[in-house]
Amino acid sequence: MTTTSNLARKLVGHAIHGLRPYIKALEIAKGDHVSQGEFRYQISEDRGTARILRNPVVGAETPLSQWLTVEGSERSIADWAEVGKQARLAFIGLKATKEKLRLENDHVQFTLNAITGVAHVSRRGEVLSEYPTTIAGWAPVGREVEIRYFESYNAAIDWNNQAAAAGVRATMEKLGILRSERPSK
């Protein structure tokens, strides 16, 4: 695979990380906490642009040609990739912080809204002021978490400690740093 095509694939991957939370924010804004299949993303064949589509008849099998483009969602892959890079890292930081607080017997929730750029941790509906409140603020936190886990994972592999590597990898998958390994065909 050439470097150019590899970079293009990574760009599309980052764009998908931006499109998915944007769709989730649209669903939550409508009051749907569980997806009803009303929204989906579409990446152009040339991989140059992406957009979010809305099904005009929710729950019905509507041909894709009849789906409507959500206003302001038709953007270049590079624009969506920029959203995706930040959103992915913010998500990692939010999940790691939630997990850390949960281990301290503290029940917290987090919010990540890719439309407004808001991201925060809250306890009983109150935003915790000691933490960032934007996606841009959480992205560096997520990056630090990602680096720390990759260093631990690589050290476990270097020292041939399979149990430690498996444990760190499981945590990385839980936090969204790595995808689960796909079963071999």
Domain assignments of the chain as residue spans, ordered by start: 3-81, 82-175
Task: Answer whether residue 5 shows pLDDT above 80.
Answer: yes
Instruction: List own/partner pairs for 173-181 with CB under 8 A and 24 or more apart.
Output: 174/95, 174/99, 175/92, 175/95, 175/96, 175/99, 175/145, 175/149, 176/88, 176/91, 176/92, 176/95, 177/92, 177/145, 177/146, 177/149, 177/150
Task: Answer whether residue 114 shows pLDDT above 70.
Answer: yes
Query: What residues are paired with 134 via a beta bridge?
Result: 118
What is the spatial distance between Cα 26 and Cα 23, in angstroms, rounded to a whole number? 5
Query: What residues are paired with 110 via a beta bridge?
Result: 121
For the stretch 155-178, pLDDT in tens is 999 999 999 999 999 999 999 999
Tell me which H or E stretch contains 64.
Answer: none
Task: Answer whether residue 79 shows pLDDT above 60.
Answer: yes
Q: Residue 109 has what pLDDT?
A: 96
Phi first, then psi: give them for residue 42, nearest 5 degrees. Answer: -140, 130
Q: Residue 185 has what pLDDT?
A: 65
Task: Answer whether residue 41 shows pLDDT above 90.
Answer: yes
Phi first, then psi: give them for residue 61, nearest 5 degrees. Answer: -80, 90
Q: Residue 1 has what pLDDT?
A: 54
Range with the poorest average pLDDT among 5-9, 149-153, 156-160, 166-170: 5-9
What is the spatial distance between Cα 104 and Cα 109, in angstroms, rounded to a whole number? 14
Q: Residue 183 has what pLDDT?
A: 75
**In what side-by-side order are the strands of the sheet with 118-123?**
109-113, 118-123, 126-127
Q: Residue 61 has what pLDDT?
A: 86
